[in-house]
Structure 1
Amino acid sequence: MSSDVSAGRTAVPSPAPGPARLRSIVRLGIVLAVGVALTLVRDWGRLAHPTLRSEDGPIFLKQAREDGLRAIVELYRGYLHLLPRLVALIWRALPLNWQPGLYAWSAVLIGLALAAMALSARTSWLLPHRWQREALFLLLVVAPSRDEVSGNIANLIFVGALGLLFVALRRDTASRAVAWGEAVLVAVLALSGPGAVFLAPAFLVRAWRQRSRQSSLLLVIVAMATLLQWGTLAINPRTGDSSGSPSVWVGYLARRAFTSAWFGANHLTPLWHGWWPLLAPATVVLVTILGLLGWRSRHRIVFAALGTGFLMASLVPCLAYYFMADSDRAQRHLLLPLTMITIVLLSGLSGLSGLSGLSGVRRLAGLRGTLPALAVAGLLLMLVAIGRDFVLSSLPFKPIGPAARCLATGRAPCLVHSNTSEWDFTLNR
């Protein structure tokens, strides 16, 4: 059986019968309820007083209403944004003054659903204990660096990359319907931003581990989406995004990409000025822990693929934006790297049968428990980052009612206000 697990071909265990099955369902329900409650508490300000934010208005809402289905193939910033386009098209027939709320709720619920993918037993080859997968789900719900992406559909392309990551880490399913549904999901997410490029190595490793038609199909979808996204970007290059450099990337890795996992992404830059003697060695310690966990794991090639994706996801924005290393902006680019860090730390606990009791303490204290102890320390320190970033900043409420009344009286074009004036736009219908 161990050889099958290492090859990634072990079948998902059948559901436990009787009372055990009931306890399993109740436990899942409790974990999901806690995740939903934490999400609502954290995002309530965005949900109770929704307002259009950044591209949600002038790009997705406007083009969905005025261009219809043609909006699906319209490029923005050089590539396709299929998931945000689909959300905007689904709600376009409903009243205009409902749109900000529908966008906010859709973004939050989609993000929650993608985080819940972490609970799947099909990742048990990597996270064998159920509590590891439950912890991953809950850590994603309260993860740092969510202020920029919460409650808006434009940044679903970055949240969607997490869904791609979880599919890449799954075993094959015996259900044909689930397999095809997964293929459709991968296609949608892969055509929504650049995430497929960063996760192509992970899908390659899945296809190598499984050696199945199912995993090979997913790899083909990701490869085709990668070629399409970067082909359109080459033909329609972004303008004004060439101020970055490799040196920015080095600074970003040192000052933000890793440090955010322990100290949060909000106000991290000013924190460096006063606390650099603490933050600099903390970054080195975290990188060392991650390196040791990856190197000592029997899934070394998987972590190599994740590391490659981590570096690619960090490099691309740093070649475009000069401010990536020394700014709190563009937190959206931290979502995927921070999730990868969390997965590696949780995987370091795979050798433990439990975290309670005298035996668990002995295992953590013993020689064999050195790496698990480091993983526990890393996860506990992540609570600092979670606490610093948990509260989301409030958005200026810009009611859309005046624009809706303007359109109703036939006085188009009508001005629509977004969260900031630079994203204000007009609607013709």
Structure 2
Amino acid sequence: MVLTASTDTSQTRRPFDRLAVVIVVVGVGAFVVRGLNRILYPVLYAEDGAQFFSGAVDRGVDALVTPFAGYLHVFPRLIALVASPLPFTVAPLAYVLAAVAAYLAVASIVLSSRLAWLLPTPRVRAIAFLLLCLFPPLTEAYGNIANLIFVGGVGLVLVALCDDPQSLRGRVFEIAVVVVLATSGPVVVMILPMYIARWWRAGRTRHSATVLGAALVSAAIQIAVYLSSERSTEGGGSLGTLVRSASERVGGVWLFSTNDLFGPDGPVIAKIAAALWISVAVAVIVVALGRAAVAPLVTFVLILAVVTNAYGNSFVSGPIVLGRHLMTPLAIIVLLLVAAAARSRLRWVTIVATVCLVAGLYGMIASFLLVGYLDPSDMQRLQDCHDLGRTTCVTPIYPPGWFVQLAP
């Protein structure tokens, strides 16, 4: 079915509202089912234990502003702090449930009527929510707080696309959300063009200026933390790598759920399909949305440029590695395609945008069920060791080579 914006009348609103509710419920259910293996068999994943769990236990509130890997990570550290009074054996499940709830909460921003200028009806916004729940590039990010900084990037994009809240409570809450998400990883720096565009689109209101200011200050803090850190990456990005990342990684993950088809010996047809998809998607977005697409597409390019500059060819070298970096760029393209399909008065544009979205069906199906992890940890032993005040308490966690180490 082609996505089209419905006329907003009293006779049509109620059925579409009911349908929107059904779509949202299906989206939530599908998202939970996708990760049942990780929910039923929870583990502390990488930085979940090595940084955030140990930081909350050892340093408490001070851990909130402790940099890691060159950035602040307020969002995951806040979850770890809230969960720190729980028994250690409960922590893996608490983290998984918190991560699932956090993703659904972030994705639910797209349901707000404050995006009606872009996604005009509840049904259209519900479809966008469903697509975010079926998102292919969730292999790394699902069910752990270590990768919530990338979920936060999607949230920052959605907030930037919103109009101003009407209530004082809503305005205060929105500023708080921006601050928490923007001080959780570096992506806010690349999303700044969208916050400038929001300020302009909203009529340069005081609140939109405040939101922009919060994003700018948070970005400045993250840049300062990064510059004062010792983080280094292999680098080596190029224009060719940037183009490949847009085609093979963003286009590839939407069409095929992976990019392992794009090696030197990979089928040429897969490369052509991915390049064609991203090219047509961007073209139809520009035709349908015009100036409204400029800031999001600039952000799309900036994110990929920064990632490819940081990681070089390794960003396009494997099927899973660094896939978490695809979440925000792909979310931008998918959201704009939904808007193009719903808003355009040109039927051919609506059809092409819808085809681009439907082309992701295989990718969504192939990536639907996420694998669980083997848990090597002994959290009860870690708890006993810590309670006895021993010098060093250690347990291995997933993936191999990672561990939790607590101070006495």
Q: TM-score, length-normalised on structure 2?
A: 0.91
Partner of 2:342: 350
Residue 249 of structure 1, CA deviation: 2.8
Would the aligned equivalents of 1:272 and 1:279 in 2 still touch at CA under 8 Å? no
Residue in 2 that maps onto 1:32: 24
Q: Which residue of 2 aligns with 1:235?
A: 228
The amino acid of 2:341's aligned partner reads L
The Cα shift of 1:134 comes to 0.8
Deviations 1:87-138 (A, max 9, x none): 1111111111111111111011100111111111111111113222111101
Return the letter of the residue paired with 2:297.
G
Q: Which of 307, 311, 316 is residue 297 of structure 2 equivalent to? A: 307
Deviations 1:215-274 (A, max 9, x none): 1111111111111111211121413x1333225334323321222221213xx2245556
CA 1:270/1:291 → structure 2, altered by over 3 Å: closer, same or farther?
A: closer
1:416 counterpart = 2:381: no
- Partner residue in 2 for 1:6: none
State how far apart, in whole Å, the 2-side matches of 1:330 and 1:285 are.
23
Paired AA for residue 368 in structure 2: F
Moved over 6 A (4+): none
- Indicate the residue corresponding to 2:5 in structure 1: none
Structure-2 residue corresponding to 1:357: none
What corresponds to 2:172 in structure 1? Answer: 180
Q: How big is the shift at 1:27?
A: 4.6
1:393 to 357, 368, 371: 371
Please show how residues 191-202 of structure 1 align to structure 2 within 5 Å.
191-202=183-194
Aligned to 2:33: 41
Query: Number of matched residues?
Result: 396
Question: Could you tell me which residue of structure 1 aligns to residue 200 of structure 2?
Answer: 208
Q: Does 1:223 align with 2:216?
A: yes
Tell me, yes or no, if the aligned pair for 1:257 and 1:314 is still in contact at 8 Å. no
User: 1:326: which partner in 2?
Assistant: 317
Moved more, 314-323 or 114-123: 314-323
Equivalent position SS for 2:267: helix
Which AA in structure 1 matches 2:173? G
- The aligned counterpart of 1:171 is 163
* Residues 1:68 and 2:60 aligned together: yes
Is residue 2:275 matched to residue 1:284? yes
Letter in 2 for 1:397: D
CA contact (8 A) 1:202 1:302 kept: no
SS in 1 for 2:85: coil
- Give the match for residue 118 of structure 2: 126
Counterpart CA distance in 1 for 2:144 and 2:121 is 33
How many Å separate the matches in 2 of 1:16 and 1:396?
53
Cα gap change, 1:369 to 1:29, in 2 (>3 Å): closer
Quote the Cα distance in structure 2 between the aligned partners of 1:377 and 1:293: 11
Amino acid at match of 1:280: K
Q: Output aligned runs, 1:267-278, within 5 Å.
A: 268-270=259-261, 272=263, 276-278=267-269
Aligned counterpart, 2:285: 294
Q: What SS class does the counterpart of residue 327 from structure 1 fall into?
A: coil
Gaps of 5+ in 1: 1-12, 353-362
Task: For 2:343 and 2:405, locate their aligned partners in 1 and report how far apart those are by CA, in whole Å.
Answer: 58
Asked whether the equivalents of residues 292 and 371 of structure 1 are also in contact (C-alpha less than 8 Å), the reply is: no
248, 253, 260: which one aligns with 2:253? 260
Residue of 354, 366, 388 corresponding to 1:376: 354
Q: Distance in 1 between matches of 2:114 and 2:235?
A: 42
Structure 2: distance between partners of 1:222 and 1:235? 20
- State whether structure 2 residue 140 is matched by structure 1 residue 161: no
SS at match of 1:417: strand
Distance across 1 between alignment mates of 2:113 and 2:43? 38
Once residues 77 and 409 of structure 1 are traced to their aligned partners in structure 2, the CA distance between those partners, rounded to angstroms, is 31
1:142 aligned residue: 134
Task: Evaluate the alpha carbon distance shift between residue 412 and residue 46 of structure 1 in structure 2; reply closer, same or farther with a 3 A threshold.
Answer: farther
